Structure 1
């Protein structure tokens, strides 16, 4: 049986080192991170059974890290350690899904015992997930990650399940915000390479003069500023999956070298003649048609042909029918848990706004709207129409009753903002009984 992996997160280097040494002697494999941000960036590559984290750290706290891991549904248990523990904090941590909450100074054997039990629970969760995936072919799990009931999304999920186990390079084509990296992650997680690294590279974010070093790595002294050896993204993704996002932005010279690496499945670091064999799947993502780009001379045709063993087209949100409402509910629930607020109810006018919007930013725009709606603050917009910037319709063609309702809604929302959502104060200001005010708010879809 493989050693359980423990990710140690603490901003104090001495504490990280001491814990790492003790846990290795106790039979655990370890990895470390100096803060929660570093832990979140590395967790997909490490796949830890247990995250052992301090609570109070600069930036994101241990509780923030706990919530982020819980939201992503990772089969990882979290143990929090603090020198400033109290009962309310412990209760909050356990409610948020922590496996254990230990206060310094702790007994080392107690810590090892807690980690052992947590690792066993994480292992059981993974075995259960694997069993469920085998029983239903992965459809149920995939439906929680590629959310939507439209025919386009059902076809996409079936294509992912069909292609995931096949060792073929794939092109993902979709507009900005359609979820290309999410689909790439699913192709990786449902493949035999799931235990290997998933490495995502945004080609548009790397300067042209650095892209070869970033992709292929370099030896010390291979160019000015190369003070040490660096492992490139191709080599780092060995045994797993490499996502080349926005590949259409890659310079043509770099494309020629990438083509050779893909064809030969070997890489040479800059400044070295040694060929390093590679075993990886390559997924290329683009927001433009690479075939058209190759015909226009802006993308190498031979690289396109080599990558195009299979192409998945990701539908824009505007073509997915009621999926915008389903996704909004999904992201609203996530945001409400993250912000610790009760999810506001959707009014029929909000549903209409979701269905009528063209969603130029696709799922990414919708998720941001759900986050703002979950906050429920006047500054972020009280209705979906406000958040999406929909202007009130002109009075032409609108009945007197509709104009009166719009005016009443405007007055109530203005008074709610002025009185910090105090219903009694708003009722006094508008000189109406509280019951009448509540009824009007329900009828007009006004929220506190």
Structure 2
């Protein structure tokens, strides 16, 4: 195995170690314990003989793994006698469970609200509205929940919400701004799900996919009282949209400063059970085990994906020149892509765009003894079947042999075909977790 192949193998193994550390099934199992006549959820104890039902609802890319964790933790007897529920997940995450139904809230690779997601959301509200004080409600929330649990507020249509989501995403709006707008156009986000739950015994287990783990923004905060205002959402939309680019109904909703507040909700426990820092720590341990000196840029790296790619590539070159130890740089967060105006077909995601920008920076250099990998921990990068991409000497050599010009691909955000042809796609399938992106940069100056 040559050095490029070894670096690639190591980078993928380090990235996968980071993802494994935030396995959704494991994270949920750690929060639920059955002992004698007691079941504990996030540290709160409930006497089993007093429980009528344990009801599980939720949405997110990690939903299938989280639901499996509930069933594993409760065991066959409690599942059979007490458990029911529905969790909305991407279609390629649907699989058989004992008592919790996994609902296909959208197709795979289409991170937008769909009619089937609305149907699932309506069913979730029916389920939680039927609860009483002898029931326990466990809400499973993870990234991607905004699109998987849509419910347009009265006065706008699903198509209106899709138009807003597409415009903000195309314009490069960060997830914090996107979800602030979504909350004010939704009948379930911004604490409205919590308000609909009919039992005071409710706990939300949350896997964070946003920098800083803001409870009110993860999946647009369905179980957290909304601190933002319609005026703030209106300011965000004005920043990115011309008046005629968005349906009038949306503007009218956001301009209504006498909107009813979120109804009163029972007290609900909101518990973060997984986040990007856990992933980085596990990746670091694996890199050290493989003999690398490790630095970390932390979990709060945002900005534009292509700028981040250039930064990481430059850091790798500088570190290679410094030598002599094998070196690993880790980075977490979620940069954005600003889409170019073009009529040409294109395909890609933010991780692939980041790696493509790194390829341009390393093109003349050849990326000798360097590997830059960027992948979404959910296994889904944009509307593609790849988690992300990597760049190394082998990928650059293959691209040059096929006369692929990376700048031409990057110009129209068309990263997927470049890596598909050059052999740099990272494909994992759904990972059933989601804690933003994880990037691994490896340098071996001694080779």
Which TM-score band (shorter chain)?
under 0.3
Higher helix share: 1
Higher strand share: 2
Larger Rg: 1
